[in-house]
Chain A
């Protein structure tokens, strides 16, 4: 995964972003509109959170979150983990995303998604993710995804690129 030339491997964005992790979502209007937040990042991994909100409910009779908002949080967490696995800023795009819903989210509780980019080639990233309320042993959803790297000419936010020194 290191970038050739026999020198020290370049640091990945997940190691460089540090206190600026909030920038990873600040450029994503939908994430801001629904209240997603970055809890933690590291090399090739990210944890996002989403507090329960009445307007994110899928079944008005039970108050359970819509599966679609969990899908959106997982998609964003996977994309963030991919960015955290990069050594330089490039665009990332979801190719596919499979989600297994293990149990309904509990009304009123915050959802967390831990995503890990466990393999990266020149053009494709492979990610797995788990959605839960804080107990990974009692997960809400399990997911696998593939992302394309360099899918278009726009990189993620210029602000992030500046913060990680690129």
Chain B
């Protein structure tokens, strides 16, 4: 095993460059080719560019269900890290993936909605789409165990705020 890398330090609010550096630091994200940016509201938008090795069924062809599941999980983790007071990597407790359409051989995008970001546990919903954000190809929800300092840096926006 090689020397372990440290995670990049993130400062709030998290910039597009920071979140991009975080994805680069995760070997499996690099293998899938996943990158991430943030939109104007600070939400992470993850991007998995099409690559031949992501295919599960070459006869359709369709993306491997596992690559889509992994991409959804990565998106949830990236959003949580972006929201956390101290950077660290949350651990997945459980994840349920619903496959709605087969993944075509083209770029895939995803965003996560944090339903609850507690002190120890977060509950997150994630959606992945290709051409049309209103026609998701897969959705997921999962629970994540937050590391020390993993509570949200900024309290979530409320209706009044």
Contacts and interface: CB of A to CB of B under 8 A. Distances in A.
B52 A29 contact: yes
Given A57-B27, A61-B6, A71 B66 contact: yes
Interface residues of B, number: 43
Interface string B82-109: 0000000101111111110010000000
B21 to A, nearest CB: 12
Given A29-B52, A29-B58, A30-B53, A94 B92 contact: no
Given A30-B56, A71-B97, A63 B1 contact: yes
Interface in A129-163: 151-152, 154-157
Contacts of B115: none
Interface in A57-106: 57-63, 65-69, 71-76, 79, 91, 93-101, 104
A54 interface: yes
A135 to B, nearest CB: 21
A27 interface: yes
Contact of B64 (A30, A55, A151): A30
A29 B56 contact: yes
A65 B29 CA distance: 11
A56 B66 CA distance: 13
A27 B62 CA distance: 12
B4 A63 contact: yes
A99 B95 contact: yes
A132 to B, nearest CB: 17
A164 interface: no
Interface of B: 1-2, 4-7, 25-32, 52-60, 64-67, 69-71, 73-74, 89, 91-99, 102
13 contacts: A30-B53, A33-B53, A58-B26, A59-B26, A60-B6, A66-B26, A68-B74, A71-B73, A71-B97, A96-B98, A97-B65, A99-B96, A152-B60
Interface of A: 27-31, 33-34, 54-63, 65-69, 71-76, 79, 91, 93-101, 104, 107-108, 151-152, 154-157
